């Protein structure tokens, strides 16, 4: 069992991260379930909060999943590599320009964490070619290396029955069985047509994808799984999940560089089949 002071937490900041609504999510999860499955894991706020003993996690982002695997399998070398990075603008752009495909798995994970900790607003975003394109953050003293947490995450990932994938979310949902708990946290449907920050990688999650996801939600429900989904509070989304338990929840706007504009409103919905 993980000691409370060493409880692992998300090792990267992630767009749409759930840390600000984590208390709400915890109160809404089923009391008992078999395998915890998160097909859009991102930073894993809920995953690291509940610390399941059996889990399947997945994300479409190859760099993110490589980092989970390196933390699990090679945390010592990752820590050594992170110690070499500098909070310097010229150095940042030099590291950003590297092709991750040509790096070792450890250096690839090290680059990923470094860029996340030092880029503007901790935002991961790719251009249409799949290249990281966020500018330097100009922070005075970012915590590039959180050795205690990386070791706690590694210890936890090695202490449980876990499968870690870089697949299409649909393939991971196919693995679900009766009694499993699936938490779906997809790219949100835009609140309005002028919404920014709805695309963070080269893959679009379109209206058609949202419809397909709602169909998969219903298939999982028929299987006898516990399913919970987060999305934006829009008529379109609420119509897709009509007949299920829909709860409007307050949340700050996911990303805004001006803190005073992060006003709370019922911008999200939590949808459950139980």
Judge whether 19 and 45 are in contact, CB under 8 Å: yes
Q: Over 80: is that where the pLDDT of 252 sits?
A: no
In eight-state DSSP terms, residue 119 is B
Which of 70, 1, 74, 8 has the alpha carbon at shortest distance from 45?
8
The more confidently predicted of residues 265 and 215 is 215
- What phi, psi does 231 have (nearest 5°)? -165, 180
H helices within 140-252, ranges in order? 147-157, 169-173, 207-223, 235-240
pLDDT band of residue 254 (cuts 50, 70, 90) is very low
What's the mean pLDDT in 127-146? 92
User: What is the dihedral sign for C-alpha 65, 215, 234, 269?
Assistant: negative
pLDDT at res. 245:
98
pLDDT band of residue 220 (cuts 50, 70, 90) is very high
User: What is the dihedral sign for C-alpha 183, 185, 189, 190?
Assistant: positive
Give whichever of 6-15, 173-182, 242-251 has the largest mean pLDDT: 173-182
Give the C-alpha distances (Å, rounded to integers) separating 88 from 12, 98, 118: 19, 16, 9
What is the second-level CATH architecture of the domain 69-148?
Orthogonal Bundle (1.10)
Q: What is the DSSP string of 227-241?
A: EEEEEE--HHHHHHT
pLDDT at res. 193:
61
Q: Over 70: is that where the pLDDT of 172 sits?
A: yes
Which of 238, 258, 263 has the alpha carbon at shortest distance from 248?
238
The more confidently predicted of residues 202 and 82 is 82
Within 10 angstroms of residue 60's Cβ, the number of other Cβ atoms is: 18
Can you give the residue ranges of every domain in the chain? Answer: 4-60+160-272, 69-148
Which of 257, 251, 254 has the alpha carbon at shortest distance from 134?
257
Give the Cα separation of 66 and 27 in Å (integer).
Answer: 31
Give the Cα separation of 96 and 90 in Å (integer).
Answer: 10
Judge whether 240 and 214 are in contact, CB under 8 Å: yes
Q: Over 50: is that where the pLDDT of 3 sits?
A: no
pLDDT per residue over 16-33, tens digit each?
778 889 999 999 999 999
Task: Pick left, alpha or beta for residue 146 (phi over 0 → left; psi -120 to 50 → alpha; otherwise beta).
Answer: beta
Judge whether 170 and 58 are in contact, CB under 8 Å: no
The more confidently predicted of residues 204 and 7 is 7
Structure token pair of residue 260: 């005073």
Pick among 3.40.50.150, 1.20.58.1910, 3.40.50.970, 3.30.70.270: CATH of 4-60+160-272: 3.40.50.150
Q: Over 90: is that where the pLDDT of 202 sits?
A: no
Q: Over 90: is that where the pLDDT of 95 sits?
A: yes
Judge whether 59 and 40 are in contact, CB under 8 Å: yes
Q: Over 90: is that where the pLDDT of 248 sits?
A: yes
């Amino acid at each position: 069992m993980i000691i409370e002071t060493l409880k692992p937490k998300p090792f990267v900041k992630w767009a749409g991260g759930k840390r600000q609504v984590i208390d709400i999510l915890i109160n809404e999860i089923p009391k008992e379930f078999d395998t915890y499955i998160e097909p859009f894991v991102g930073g894993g706020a809920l995953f690291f909060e509940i610390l399941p003993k059996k889990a399947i996690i997945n994300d479409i982002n190859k760099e993110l999943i490589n980092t989970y695997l390196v933390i699990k399998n090679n945390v010592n070398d990752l820590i050594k590599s992170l110690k070499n990075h500098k909070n310097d603008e010229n150095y940042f752009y030099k590291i950003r320009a590297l092709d991750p495909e040509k790096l070792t798995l450890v250096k690839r994970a090290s680059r990923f964490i470094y860029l996340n900790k030092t880029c503007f607003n901790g935002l991961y975003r790719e251009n249409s070619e799949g290249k990281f394109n966020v500018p330097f953050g100009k922070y005075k003293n970012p915590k590039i290396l959180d050795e205690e947490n990386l070791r706690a995450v590694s210890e936890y990932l090695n202490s449980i029955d876990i499968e870690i994938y870089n697949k299409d979310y649909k393939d991971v949902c196919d693995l679900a069985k009766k009694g499993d708990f699936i938490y779906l946290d997809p790219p949100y449907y835009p609140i309005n047509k002028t919404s920014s920050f709805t695309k963070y990688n080269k893959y679009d999650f379109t209206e058609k994808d949202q419809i397909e996801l709602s169909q998969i939600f219903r298939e999982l429900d028929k299987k006898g799984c516990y399913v919970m989904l987060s999305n934006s509070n829009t008529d379109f989304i609420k119509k897709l999940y009509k007949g299920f338990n829909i709860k409007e929840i307050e949340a700050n706007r996911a990303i805004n560089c001006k803190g005073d504009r992060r006003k709370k409103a019922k911008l999200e919905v939590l949808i459950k089949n139980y």
